[in-house]
Amino acid sequence: MGSRLSIYLPILFTLLIFSACDKKQEGQKRAPKESVKVLKRKKKSLLGGSFRVSDIDNRTTRIHFEDAKVLVDKVIQPIVIIHLFAPWCPPCRGMLPYLSEIQRKYARRVFVIGIVVNSSIGNEELRRFMQRYDATFFISNAKDNDRLARCLAAELSLPENYPIPLTLVYKNGERVIDIEGAAPQEMLENIIEQLK
């Protein structure tokens, strides 16, 4: 009995880590094995306007929505990863260290933006949280975060109580893929490599 438990416990733990903080898994999109192509929208974007995001050091930028594109001021990298997460969500926390690694490894091509949602965490508590989980990329704790996240979820035809973590990958402002639930580091790196 003890040997079975030692076999099944790591498997169960792994499954829990790579699940979303929501029961909906059916619509999860995965990166195609052979290539990643920019998703073409059939209709004009539902989004419009601009959202101010700022990190714990008060560095700010704006995320603009123009003609079905997501544009980020002050970001020169062609690939932007927007990661919607909550500090209380275990799969969200599990992704933070390797999103930091991706930011470091692909710094010339990729900019990672974390958007804290569904949380009232203060900046000092967020700073300690980021240190604990080695989150070294830009994380916004701005007032507009929840409104921004609702707009992004609506654009993806997700319900208002969308699953987290939710990771969106853009190249030159065009959405490439969105991933509901925890995305393995290898999957994100594969997507980045295919977007050269």
Task: Please report, for the domain that includes residue 187, its CATH number.
Answer: 3.40.30.10
Q: If DSSP codes are grouped into helix, strand and coil, which group holds residue 136?
A: coil
Q: Count the helices and strands in the chain (H runs, E runs).
A: 5, 8
Q: Give the other-Cβ count within 10 Å of 185's Cβ.
A: 14
Q: Give the other-Cβ count within 10 Å of 101's Cβ.
A: 17
The pTM for the full model equals: 0.78
> Across the beta sheet with 60-66, what order do the strands follow?
49-54, 60-66, 69-72
Per-residue model confidence as pLDDT tens digits over 29-66: 444 444 444 444 434 445 567 999 999 999 999 999 88
Per-residue model confidence as pLDDT tens digits over 110-164: 999 999 999 999 999 999 999 999 999 999 999 889 999 998 998 889 998 899 9
User: How many domains is the chain partitioned into structurally?
Assistant: 1
Enclosing domain of residue 82 = 2-194
